[in-house]
Amino acid sequence: MRVVLVEPEIPQNTGSVARLCAATGTPLDLVGKLGFSLADRYLKRAGLDYWPFVELAVHPTWDGFRLTRPAGRLLAFSSHGAQSYTRIGFREDDLLVFGGESRGLPDALRGELAPLWSIPMPGTGVRSLNLANAVSIVLYEALRQRGRV
**pLDDT tens digits along 78-94:** 998 999 999 999 999 99
Strand, helix or coil for residue 26: coil
Per-residue pLDDT of 94-116, as tens digits, reads 999 999 999 999 999 999 999 99
Q: What's the CATH number where 15 sits?
A: 3.40.1280.10
Contact 95, 79 (CB under 8 A): no
Q: How far apart are CA 10 and CA 14, in angstroms?
A: 7
Number of domains making up the chain: 1
Per-residue pLDDT of 6-52, as tens digits, reads 999 998 899 899 999 999 999 999 999 998 888 767 666 665 678 88
When the pLDDT of each residue in the chain is averaged and rounded to a whole number, the result is 92
Contact 100, 76 (CB under 8 A): no
- Angle (nearest 5°) at CA 86 between 84 and 87: 80
92 Rama class: left (phi>0) / alpha (psi -120 to 50) / beta:
alpha
